[in-house]
Amino acid sequence: MMLMENAGRFSSKERVMLTFNKSVPDRVPINYLANSGIDRRFKAVLGLKPDDNLGLKKAIGVDFAGVQAGYTGVRLHSEIPGLHVDPLYGIRRKWIEHETGGYWDYCDFPLQDALIEEIEKWPLPSPDDFDYAAVPGACKKNQEFAVFAGGAGTGDIINSTGMLRGMEQVLVDLITEEPAGLRLIQRKADLQLEILFRTIEAAEGLIDFVWMGEDLGSQKAPLISTELYRRIIRPIHQRFIDVAKHFGLPVMIHTCGSSSWAYEDFIEMGIDAVDTLQPEAKDMAPEYLKEKFGGRLAFHGCVSTAGPVAYGTPDEVTEYCRHILEIMMPGGGYCFAPTHCLQDNSPAENVLAMYKAGAKYGWYE
């Protein structure tokens, strides 16, 4: 089943770059992010095999593809029975069942009480242990798409550091400038920056933009103060943006929850697009974002994974997506995508209705 039968006047690269430039392409760029359960069921509805990721992208008109340098080093952290232990960073997760499937939840937090001496000794990969030589080939394989380096975890401080140290401790670390917590943040940021630089350099001009992230809000309010963001986190984020700008690349940042309070800072820092856009969160409604930041930031997301796509009917999903497109499309600068990964509680027919709406109502001409 092909939802996007008209190829359009622009390539995916051109379409996304025009949108990041807050200009009007032929149609809105489209992206797809999903958990494993709904991904499998949606592919079945489209008549695709479970591993046919390229077929899915072509069927629904996805314009994005990510590339990364694969790790070639040894396992740095031992396995633990009953848990999944990340071999590079030592993050621990356990499988939690629920009525629509399951998910890997973070647990144990091995560095929660660690002092700075333990932080220094905690094994992290070397930037030398990644296969940068394979990056150009990966870019060429995805040349029909807008290719990005990084992702929502690139540059992320609060969320990913919390996977090792616990969210509560990370917030305490930031407020009190705890040396152990800040050192862990610095070590990880230095590593990611070097990997990002080498990846973009190796691509020899075949990467189109950088994707980074930081979870900055709950549903109701910011997670931290503007002062704390500017004092501790913004300087680190700026280093990632500077790497992208060194190569002349635009930057998109993933920010969960109520995060528009930081958008003026993002604009000053050189960020071009914001991702996620949870419409239920405070000051994140599409009308508010478009009125206050339209023309200054491009938008990626805004289709709630906790709204009609999860709990409505296909007709309600169609109307909901059409309404979002009507708000966000004028003047360009909008990418049609879910706020997060589509969740396993979403009916496959609703996801189908979502992307049918994008294919039908997302055209400028």
Q: Which CATH architecture has domain 12-73+113-361?
A: Alpha-Beta Barrel (3.20)
Cβ neighbours for 65, distance < 8 A, ≥ 6 positions apart: 57, 142, 145, 146, 147, 148
CA max distance for the chain:
60
Token digits for 66?
């990510």
Read off φ and ψ for residue 251, nearest 5 degrees: -125, 135
Instruction: Look at residue 16 in the predicted model and tell me its pLDDT.
Output: 98
Mean pLDDT by 10 residues, the chain (365 residues): 85 98 97 96 97 97 98 98 97 92 92 98 98 98 97 96 98 98 98 98 98 96 97 98 98 97 98 97 98 98 97 98 98 97 96 97 93
Q: What does DSSP say about strands 101-106 and 92-98: parallel, antiparallel, or unpaired?
A: antiparallel
CB 175 within 8 A of CB 102: no
CA distance 80 to 354: 40
CA distance 250 to 271: 7
CA distance 245 to 237: 13
Per-residue pLDDT of 47-105, as tens digits, reads 999 999 999 999 999 999 999 999 999 999 999 999 999 999 999 999 999 888 888 99
Helix (H, G, I), strand (E, B) or coil at 152: coil
What is the secondary structure of 2-61 as a DSSP string?
-S-----SS-HHHHHHHHHTT---SB--B---B-HHHHHHHHHHTT--TT-HHHHHHHHT
Which residue is associated with the tokens 């969160």? Answer: 281
CA distance 138 to 61: 20
